Structures are given as C-alpha cells and as structure tokens.
Structure 1
Amino acid sequence: MPRPVLLALLLACAAPAALAAAPADRSSHHESHLRVDDSSLTWDSDGRRLALRDGADGVRVVEANTLRLQPGDVVTRVGDTPVRSVRQWLAALRARPGKSVVLQVRGIDGRVRVVQLSGGEIADLAPPPPPPPPPPAPIR
C-alpha cells in the first residue's frame, strides 16, 4: 500500500479516538438535581434552587432563588388544578409536557398573584417519572 494512503488511513482512524479522549467543554455543561420524597421536593440546577413542602392550604415554598417564587409563598393551583401536596404539584406539571402553565401563588403578605412557567422551565423542574420496573421473570 502506498505511504500516502496508509498515512491517510491511520489519521482517519486516530482522529475520532483523539476527539473522544479530549476533555469536554464544561462551559455548556448543565447539571440538575431533583429529589422528591413523600412530602417535599428539592431542586438545584446551575445555581438555581427551589425547595417545596406539603402544606395544609397548598404547596409551601421553603427556599427559592428562581421561577419568580419566594420563600413563604404558597402555590395553590397549577393551571386549573388545585394542589395541596408536592405529588399533586408534580403531577399537574407533568400533565402539560412542553407547554407553559400558570401557577396561582399566595404570597407571605396574603396577596394572590400568578406566575407563568415556560415549557422549558417545567421540563427542567419536573422531568418525566422513571419508567416502572420490569415484570418479574417467570418461575420455571
């Protein structure tokens, strides 16, 4: 095989491997953490934080530095759906994938306001639930 052809083949094979081994550009890295338990939700994404807890009259905002929510706010509706628990809140958000939704929020001062979340904010905050586990293997 002539040397130029051999060199071209070696370069063609080595280039993808070299690119795969190169460190990724971290400037576009997006990291998001969502933790949900029986009565609370904690979300952290690129410095944005939100912590919610079940409340007697709605979903209480415990911590927030995003989404136009403030600590002490109580979310009482997601769209047309009344919510009193984090689970209801997540279910209402997940029922509208990719679409914006309006939250009805009562502030610490008692005033009611609306907060609109975009489809992108919802997708980041309320990803689809994990798939159910596979069925058990048949017993032989």
Structure 2
Amino acid sequence: MMIKPFIKVQYPPSKKVFRAFKVSDLISYTGRIYIFDEKNFSRYRFYEEHEGTQLFSLSNEIAFLKDVRLFSAETLEYLFIRGVVATVGFDADESLTSIYRRFSRLHLVSFDEGSQKILEKAAPGYAEFKDLRLYVGISALGYFFRREV
C-alpha cells in the first residue's frame, strides 16, 4: 500500500489550485486561517447588517468553523459568497456537498489529532499555522470522503 505525499500549500490560497484538489488529497498548509466561533461569526454578520460593509474581507481566505452549529447551508453560503476559498473543521455532513459543489469550494479536515488540537486551541480571529496537516473531506466537485480510523 502506497501512502500519498502531502501537497504543500502556502498563503494566500488560490481558488484555482484548491479547485484542482481531489477528495482525500493530503495537504500541508502554511499560512493564516480565520477562526470563527459562534459569537465571532454573529458579530461579523451584525457589523455587516448594521454598517452596510464587511468588517474585513474574507476574499481568498480559509475559514475554520470551530463550532459544529456553524456547519449549516446558510452559513456556508454566506461565507462562500464573501470569497472564502475553503472551510476547515469537523467531518462535515454529507448533505452539505451540494453547497460545496455549487460554489466550487473545499472542506478540509485535520489529518491527525495534533493538527486538530492546534486548531481547537487557536483563539477566534486570524491565526498563523505552519505545516498544518489536512485532508480534503469534500471536493469542489462535491465528492465526499470520510477517513476510517
């Protein structure tokens, strides 16, 4: 059995490059990721609704959804319309593949416990990561993969 090599990706993430990834591809990511928890996400939306402009641009960013409740079609559509290239987080539900396919976006999942712990410890906001090991859980074509442990 041959083990796939990790594909090294650095910030800023390119939509064109990310769309080429296939489900189960292994990625070693170095760069920043915006970390959303439920409170932080609500604050971002509140600012946009009341000020008429985004608090900051999410274009060409990767978003880590720290809270399982954020994995909804409405939240994902909101983020993808604002330019988020990929989401990172827990194993997403297979029912969300149509949203990822519609916007040609990826969902990445931590490859190992070490990467998951690093992500979970990060405070909401921008965080820098070096050689964060991830795999593609949902591809831009809407294919779904769940790794068996």
Same fold (TM over 0.5): no
* Structure that is richer in helix per residue: 2
TM range (shorter): under 0.3
Q: Structure 2 length as normaliser, TM-score?
A: 0.25
Which structure's relative contact order is higher, taking Cα pairs within 8 Å and 6+ residues apart? 2
